[in-house]
């Protein structure tokens, strides 16, 4: 089950964290993995790990916010069976602490970046006669998150875009879903804690972990497992859905 043999998967932001876990798992399941990543060195390390394990993968160093570059990458790949829009950046601040430049920066990567990849991938999937798209949303798509105004805006857009694409391209045999994680233990989280809570890292990590009712953060590999299912043929009857993977945050955190 969940074989991706003979499938070509494009994963944005695949050089670290959730994207890395998805890239490694998809390659393990037989996919030819193409990572679009601004940090080419990080992505290359992932590809080398994939190749060492006997898989096949390629790095495309580009910013998802650059439509011309993104279209060129996809056209160069040619056949695309799976797209995982994972690349994203964060911002901390409420409305009053979000400057216009902050909002533009978040939009460029999180919203426009996903749009650019959808814009490039869907014509190729239509030619191929099918496709599976997975967009990385967030619990911020569903509930209010303190001091995350711009980030929440962007993930709400991802949620809505996923529904729109699912409806518009269902007749083309293209499925589109999204995942809404709560906190995931990635290098970004460790860096954020180290930067903002020097000398108090352990306590802050514990506090953030306990904000999930399940009592811990998710591991990237747990997110990757859900991504694998939704992009596999076994999920062929699923489209237009969002899947919270949140340790009970949305429903139980009252």
CB 49 within 8 A of CB 24: yes
**Dihedral sign of CA atoms 146, 152, 155, 156 in order:** positive
Nearest to 148 by CA among 188, 177, 106: 106
Residue with tokens 């911002």: 91
The single residue of 115, 151, 169, 243 carrying the catalytic annotation is 151
Lateral strand order in the sheet of 8-12: 56-61, 32-37, 8-12, 82-85, 131-136, 174-181, 242-245
Residue 151 is a catalytic residue? yes
Spatial CB neighbours of 14, under 8 Å, sequence gap ≥ 6: 20, 22, 23, 33, 35, 36, 37, 43, 46, 86
The residues that are catalytic are 151
């Amino acid at each position: 089950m969940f074989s991706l043999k003979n499938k070509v998967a494009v994963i944005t932001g695949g050089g670290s964290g959730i994207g890395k876990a998805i890239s490694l798992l998809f390659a393990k399941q037989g996919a030819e993995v193409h990572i679009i990543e601004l940090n080419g060195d990080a992505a290359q390390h992932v590809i080398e790990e994939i190749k060492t394990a006997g898989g096949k993968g390629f790095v495309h160093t580009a910013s998802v916010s650059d439509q011309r570059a993104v279209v060129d990458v996809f056209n160069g790949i040619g056949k695309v069976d799976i797209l995982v829009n994972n690349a994203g950046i964060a911002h901390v601040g409420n409305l009053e602490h979000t400057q216009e430049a902050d909002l533009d920066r978040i939009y460029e990567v999180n919203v426009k970046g996903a749009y650019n990849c959808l814009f490039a991938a869907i014509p190729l999937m239509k030619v191929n006669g099918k496709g599976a798209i997975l967009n990385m949303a967030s619990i911020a798509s569903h509930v209010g998150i303190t001091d995350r105004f711009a980030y929440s805006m962007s993930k709400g857009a991802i949620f809505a875009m996923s529904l729109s694409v699912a409806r518009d391209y269902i007749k083309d045999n293209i499925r589109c879903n999204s995942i809404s994680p709560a906190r995931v233990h990635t290098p970004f989280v460790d860096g954020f804690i180290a930067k903002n809570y020097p000398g108090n890292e352990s306590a802050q990590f514990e506090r953030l972990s306990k904000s999930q009712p399940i009592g811990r953060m998710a591991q990237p590999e747990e997110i990757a497992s859900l991504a694998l299912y939704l992009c596999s043929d076994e999920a062929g009857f699923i489209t237009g859905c969002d899947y919270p993977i949140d340790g009970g945050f949305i429903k139980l955190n009252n």
